[in-house]
Amino acid sequence: MRIFRKSKRVKHPQGPARRRVLFVSHEATRTGAPKIILNILKHFSQNCDIQCETILQTGGHLAGEFESHSEALDCLNVTKAQSSELNKRVAKFIHREKANLPVLAICNSMESRFIAKEIAGEDVPVIMLVHELPSSYSEEDYQSVYDIATKVIFPVHHVREAADAKTPVPISKSIVLSQGLLSPEFGTGISRDVAHSQIRSELNIPENSFVVLGCGTLDLRKGIDHYAAIARRVTELNRSEIPIHFVWVGEGPRWTHSTYHYVQLDLDKTRARDHVHFIGERANVEPYFMGADTFLMSSRVDPFPCVIHEAMASSLPVITFDQAGGAPEAIDNGAGFVVPYADYDQTSNIIRMLATQPEIAAGMRLKSKERVEARYRFEDYGDKIIDLSETILKSEIRHPGATIQPIGIQHTIPMPQRYAA
- Whole-number average pLDDT of the chain: 90
Residue 8: its pLDDT value, please? Answer: 43
Choose between 2 and 271: higher pLDDT: 271
pLDDT tens string 125-179 = 999 999 999 988 999 999 999 999 999 999 999 999 999 999 999 999 999 999 9
pLDDT tens string 340-361 = 999 999 999 999 999 999 998 8
Categorize the per-residue pLDDT at 198 as very low, low, confident or very high, splitting at 50, 70 and 90.
Answer: very high
Same domain, 255 and 394: no
Residue 403: its pLDDT value, please? Answer: 54
Residue 187, domain member (yes or no): no
Same domain, 311 and 412: no
Same domain, 256 and 270: yes
* Dihedral over Cα of 328, 334, 336, 341: its sign: positive
Same domain, 391 and 355: no
Domain harbouring 220, CATH code: 3.40.50.2000
Same domain, 370 and 381: no
Write down the pTM of the prediction. 0.85
Task: Please check whether residue 47 is in contact with residue 386, taking contact to mean a CB–CB distance below 8 angstroms.
Answer: yes
Same domain, 152 and 128: yes
Task: Please check whether residue 145 is in contact with residue 113, taking contact to mean a CB–CB distance below 8 angstroms.
Answer: yes
Task: Please check whether residue 4 is in contact with residue 346, taking contact to mean a CB–CB distance below 8 angstroms.
Answer: no
The residues near 313 (Cβ < 8 Å, ≥ 6 apart) are 181, 186, 187, 289, 369, 372, 373
Residue 167, domain member (yes or no): yes
Angle at 103 between CA 421 and CA 416, to 5 degrees: 20
pLDDT tens string 69-121 = 999 999 999 887 788 999 999 999 999 999 999 999 999 999 999 999 999 99
Domain of residue 112 covers 3-182+377-419
Residue 15: its pLDDT value, please? Answer: 58
Residue 188 has pLDDT above 80, yes or no: yes
Question: Mean per-residue pLDDT for 254-279?
Answer: 97
Question: Mean per-residue pLDDT for 215-239?
Answer: 97
Categorize the per-residue pLDDT at 267 as very low, low, confident or very high, splitting at 50, 70 and 90.
Answer: very high
Residue 16 has pLDDT above 90, yes or no: no
Distance CA 348, CA 245 (A): 12
Distance CA 294, CA 319 (A): 8
Same domain, 84 and 62: yes
